[in-house]
Amino acid sequence: MQLALFDLDNTLLCGDSDFAWAEFLIGKGVLAEAAQRAKNRKFMADYEAGTLDMDEFLTFQLAPLAAHPRATLEVWHDEFMATKARPMISEAARAKVEEHQRAGHLCALVTATNSFVTGPIAREFGIAHLIATIPACGQGAFTGKARGIPAFQAGKVTRVEDWLEAQGLYWGSFTDTWFYSDSHNDLPLLEKVHHPVAVNPDARLARIAAERGWETMTLC
């Protein structure tokens, strides 16, 4: 049995779905432009620097979900997929996922971005398993809080292991494992697999990949 794990933002997507979703809401007038755009850019810079305060970020990221009915959010997301998300998907990214699927590998998307934003994107790739930060719900509406451990940094390893255990599997169940990522924030999971692959890597990950002889590629 073989396992292929894929990061999403700047890996399978030629861009960041978190950032793009916030910018989309700003463009629709749902979020105030000046303050929200500044925060959005600050969080992106913090993420790239490896200094992101995940609790603070999730408060920002999940607040719009709690402020609007689920039906309205779904309509907006359909528009977001058509105008923002699908244009960020390259043929090379689709082909890489399909390569593993054709080989019969167990595939999962593993992303810090919340599952409301990323669920339709996983389905667009035909990836059945999504391991993402989970926005909490109550009485059919989002609460603005996260449920459980965010799928971020070492949390990705924990969430993947929980997912495997729920299926009666563990790392030793696989003869080969892959993880594709662009970010040094994903080093904990990259270091768990047999085949870590740096995709469109940031400067720190590119340096580490070169030092350790990891495969490097671009999907954009």
Is 51 exposed, middle or buried (CB count within 10 Å of its CB: 0-12, 13-18, 19+)?
A: exposed
**Strand ranges for the chain from DSSP E:** 2-6, 106-114, 129-138, 141-147, 176-181, 195-199, 215-217
Coil, strand or helix at 202: coil
Q: What is the DSSP letter of 89?
A: B
Amino acid sitting at position 53: D
Q: How far is CA 170 from the centre of its chain?
A: 22
Query: How far apart are the C-alpha atoms of 65 and 69, rounded to whole Å?
Result: 8
In 3D, which of 147, 9, 12, 129 has the Cα closest to residue 66? 147
Buried b (16+ CB within 10 A) or exposed e, 2-28: bbbbbbbbbbbbbbbbbbbbbbbbbee
Give me the active site residues, please: 7, 9
